[in-house]
Amino acid sequence: MRLARKIVMYLVFAGMLLSVYDEFANYMENGDDFKRDPKVLYEIYGELPIPDNTNEIEKKESIRERHSVSLDIYYCTRLSKEQIKRFYIMYLTDKGWKQIDKQDGNCMVLFKKDKWKIAVQDENEKYRVNIYKIYRY
């Protein structure tokens, strides 16, 4: 019984050490970015243009401290997928965003600048612009 108790205590201690190491490694890689990134997120959002014949429907913010920050903006439009894609390619590449080829099924186009990404995704009868940053180390 005492041996089992010692093993459990060592496992708990090892888990605590791994957790502290994880936080330390994250801090060394990302510093205090998570404190200023919500402001940066809304600065990027404020600079995004809205295409003609398009209306913003809603915004959803998600902030997971030291893990990720993101803002989903939903739009209703009469533009085709190709017109939306061309609009964002033209605008964002002019602003220094690099287009990335990696895309999933509903992602029309993906951009990266520093550690930030913008994904333009197709939704039924609307589309979504996702601005996000994921903290990795």
Spatial distance between the Cα atoms of 58 and 73, rounded to a whole number of angstroms: 6
pLDDT over 60 at 137, yes or no: no
What type of residue is 100? I
Domain of residue 12 covers: 1-30
106 and 56 in a common domain: yes
pTM of the full predicted structure?
0.75
6 and 37 in a common domain: no
What mean pLDDT comes out for the span 79-93?
A: 92
pLDDT over 70 at 27, yes or no: no
Q: Do residues 118 and 73 make contact, with C-beta atoms less than 8 angstroms apart?
A: no
| Residues 31-78: tens digit of each pLDDT | 666 677 889 999 999 999 899 889 999 999 998 876 789 999 999 998
71 and 100 in a common domain: yes
pLDDT over 70 at 30, yes or no: no
121 and 88 in a common domain: yes
63 and 84 in a common domain: yes
Measure the N-to-C terminal CA separation of the chain; round to a whole number of Å.
Answer: 40
pLDDT over 80 at 23, yes or no: no
Spatial distance between the Cα atoms of 73 and 41, rounded to a whole number of angstroms: 12
Hey, what are 129's tokens?
A: 């612009």
Hey, what are 10's tokens?
A: 């060592």
Hey, what are 136's tokens?
A: 């990795």
93 and 52 in a common domain: yes
47 and 21 in a common domain: no
